[in-house]
Structure 1
Amino acid sequence: MSEVAPQNAVESLTGLVLPLADRQLLVPNVALAELIPYRAPQTTENQPDWLLGRLAWRDLQLPMLSFEAASNGQAELGSGARVAVLNALGGRDNVKFIALVLQGIPRSMKIGADVPRADVELAPLELDAVQVGTEVLRIPDLVMLEQKLADAGLI
């Protein structure tokens, strides 16, 4: 007699690999609201170096940021830069989306429940890292990223 997996067991999920300048992030498919071409945001004086400015999107002004700079790295804009509009997860009524600069086009990837953790040092705003083949994919803490925006008085 064959064994049947419980109905609520997750064998795999589909994630998106977001290419950054110095790493790749792995987020659930549902985190991405839209991918748009890069366009220069409106900047203000005295903004943190990780905040690139405000981006007009669908009658909203979204904070656009560099994940690399927000997690103690360097903000970079390459020739293939895109903007990922992410669904906000922090439960704030006034924040539904944030914009994150990418260095290319995200790609879809099936991730099995048995994916091994990567033995790498995590940067701030990273929850974990997994090893998929030769790639290390870092799992961002999107709620803390949103909290960083709130702590800076930007949302």
Structure 2
Amino acid sequence: IFRDVETAKRVLRELWILRRCDHLNVIALRSVVTAEAAPGVTSLCFVFEQCDSDLAKLFYAGVRLSLSQAAAITAQLFNGLAYLHELRVLHRDLKPANVLVNRGLSVRICDFGLARVYAGESETNPNPNPNPNPNPNPNPNPNPTANPKSNP
């Protein structure tokens, strides 16, 4: 199905992310199907909800948005991003072509091909510092101004 290992990783990562997303402002993955593209060549196809356009096409077509329309689109975009960040998903390719818009100005974030899931800190170990010593000062002397060679 895949040309190389990197393509397989990218597609499977995108599928993993999309299957976990369930938000009004993130494109909905409806199904995944395989089809024979040519003899001996199988294609993997993602089936998404249908959307009318994207922001890039609207901009290039010269569509002028009112301030309230732009604010509504922006608010939906931020809602979708906040949801993705709650899932620890970093989109990494957010641009007008990856923001789908329907006639009623409902917004869907799409194209998770470059997205990554941020592993970062875990709940069991909120401190990513591998040093078990909570004191970052390597000097064991509690009084840093005292001269360790002098006797009190």
TM-score (norm: length of structure 1) = 0.29
TM-score (norm: length of structure 2) = 0.29
More strand by share: 1
Question: Which structure's CA Rg is the greater one?
Answer: 2
More helix by share: 2
